[in-house]
Amino acid sequence: MTDTNKFFKSAFSVDNVIFGFDDSDLKVLLIKRGEAPFAGKWALPGDLVYPNEDLDTAAGRVLEELAGLKNVYLEQVHTFGSVNRHPLGRVITIAYFSLVRIDAYNPISSSTMAQSVHWMSVEKVQEVKDLAFDHNDIFHACFQKLQRQVRSRPVGFELLPPKFTLTELQHLYESVLQTELDKRNFRKKILSMDILVDLKEMQAGVAHRPAKLYKFDQEGYNKAVAEGMSFELKESKPKRDAEKKKEVLASHF
């Protein structure tokens, strides 16, 4: 008869990857750990699952305790189960992912596990090679999911303020895809999707020429999400490529 006791000696945890958008910058929520292991290291908000707790409930509890965020829709992304991913024993973790508006939350921890809570630029996080545990891998998996998602469904409703400009929306997509997009192509594509409502309003109190304000059409947005779509966007040509092309043309005259 097989000894099943050894199969019940693993623990489960949840790790949350929460993206937000602020001032043309895509950010992710991190905590600085206040307890061992990895005390003083940056980490994703994550912790062990209680024996009497289901995974989704644990993800919400942990996010509230470590970062003060409540009622956040969380979506399971991937399970990470490398044998030695946790220094204290076998811990299998489930990664959760969400998009939120930064101005709608005030992150603060009620747990000694987190010294502090901070929104960090995705570009900066990509430069940090020593997040706690295997959180670099978890972050990259969720970021890649977001990058794939923006090409198959509209993204922005969860990240932008109720009223926004097309430039702000384009900056969001550029932050996610980490590339500069062709302005004319982007606007043509996004306006053809019937997910925006022209508010017939203009920006106020800006130093530059005021731009039109839009909001998302909830019905059209939900339909686009349900049906899926192809949202391939044309990237702008790097300046050096454009200059090289001019040189080649000039050489023929």
Sequence-ordered alpha helix ranges (H) in 17-85: 55-67
In CATH, what number is assigned to the domain containing residue 162? 1.10.10.10
Tokens of 61: 């509890």
Q: How confident is the model at residue 6 (pLDDT cuts 50, 70, 90)?
A: confident
Mean pLDDT for 113-124 is 96
Q: Report pLDDT digits (tens) over 126-161.
A: 999 999 999 999 999 999 999 998 887 777 788 999
**Does the bond joining 161 to the residue before it have cis omega, within 30 degrees of 0?**
no
19: phi then psi, degrees, rounded to nearest 5: -95, 145
The H or E element containing residue 230 is none
Q: Do 105 and 175 belong to one domain?
A: no
pLDDT of 171 above 80: yes
Position 203 scores a pLDDT of 87
DSSP, collapsed to helix, strand or coil, labels residue 101 as: strand
Alpha-carbon gap, residue 238 to 242, rounded angstroms = 7
Domain count, the chain: 2
Give the residue numbers spanning the domain of 57.
9-149
- Picking from 50, 44, 101, the residue whose alpha carbon sits closest to that of residue 67 is 44
pLDDT top residue among 3 and 52: 52
Q: Do 75 and 95 belong to one domain?
A: yes
Q: Do 158 and 232 belong to one domain?
A: yes
Q: Angle 183-191/166-177 helices, nearest 10 degrees? A: 110
Last residue of a domain, one of 149, 182, 200: 149
Assess if residue 3 is contained within a domain. Answer: no
Last residue of a domain, one of 149, 182, 216: 149
Q: Do 144 and 157 belong to one domain?
A: no
Q: How confident is the model at residue 246 (pLDDT cuts 50, 70, 90)?
A: very low
Sequence-ordered alpha helix ranges (H) in the chain: 55-67, 122-127, 135-149, 166-177, 183-191, 218-227, 239-250
Last residue of a domain, one of 149, 175, 209: 149
241: phi then psi, degrees, rounded to nearest 5: -70, -40
Q: Report pLDDT digits (tens) over 188-214.
A: 989 988 889 999 999 888 778 889 999
